[in-house]
Amino acid sequence: MSTGTSTFVIRWINFLTMLIAVAVICFGVWMSIHHDGCRKSLTLPVLGLGAFILLISLIGFMGALKNIAALLWIYLVVLCLVLIAILVFTVLAYKEYQLKDYSSWFLKQLNNTQNWERLKSCLVKSEDCNNLPKKYKNLKQYKLAKLTPIEAGCCRPPSECGYPAVNASYYDLSFHPISTNKDCKRYKNSRAIKCYSCDSCKAGVAQYMKTEWRVVAIFNVVLFVVLSMIYFVGCCARRNASRNLSKT
């Protein structure tokens, strides 16, 4: 790849990446002033990610623009570390989920009272359970619906309890449960209680996060391929910059 082509590609790739980084930072700022505590908890990681992307993009852009070999070296080293981190993070997480349905470490974190209270607060604020009657207009639709893991685990009592459903958000609790499952007594029709303290809700959250992780893992693979291509172009730009420096 020629000097002009490689540096041109690196410049424009990193210019576009800088714009993305600015958008991420703006999103983080929006989250910081949002009143939802669940979103606020993600503020610092989002701002940190945006700042990191902006910094590495700026280094790559300036290195390619000025043909500065030292900056391109720094850019390539950091990019290489990012590639390794993505690869390790993705592979290890896949192995963890292959051991059992959910890892013992994950279950321990989920069963931690403080962690679960925070998650439960987010579930209540999300209004997913309370919006079920709007989503399913009648009881027949609700019974035939394929509920999400959180809807099935947190918004209703386990099926084994045998409580008759009046509608998508209300069950007849006067019915004597046919199961000894403790979740049967934990469920309440109250908007703030539902089955948020149930083991079935924790299992629903775990399954949801496992499903979401698959999407994240696919994104990581795509990101790894794209960054590998950028890394290759960056190597060409760094080599050309070093060659030009040696000629002067």
Q: Is 127 within 8 Å of 166 (Cβ atoms)?
A: no
Average pLDDT of the residues of the chain? 76
Q: What is the pLDDT of residue 185?
A: 93
pLDDT in tens, 61-81: 887 777 777 777 787 778 777
Q: What is the pLDDT of residue 76?
A: 76
More confident residue, 5 or 13: 13
Q: What is the pLDDT of residue 96?
A: 37
pLDDT in tens, 17-65: 788 778 778 877 876 776 555 556 557 766 777 788 788 888 878 877 7
Q: What is the mean pLDDT of residues 130-145?
A: 89
pLDDT in tens, 149-161: 889 999 999 999 9
Q: What is the pLDDT of residue 237?
A: 62
More confident residue, 233 or 38: 233
More confident residue, 239 or 100: 239
Q: What is the pLDDT of residue 46?
A: 67
Q: What is the pLDDT of residue 197?
A: 92
Q: What is the pLDDT of residue 155?
A: 94
Name the pTM for this structure. 0.58
Q: What is the pLDDT of residue 219?
A: 63
Return d(Cα 179, Cα 173) in angstroms, integer. Answer: 13
Q: What is the pLDDT of residue 98?
A: 34
pLDDT in tens, 171-194: 999 988 888 999 999 999 999 999
Enumerate the domain spans of the chain: 3-102+209-247, 114-203
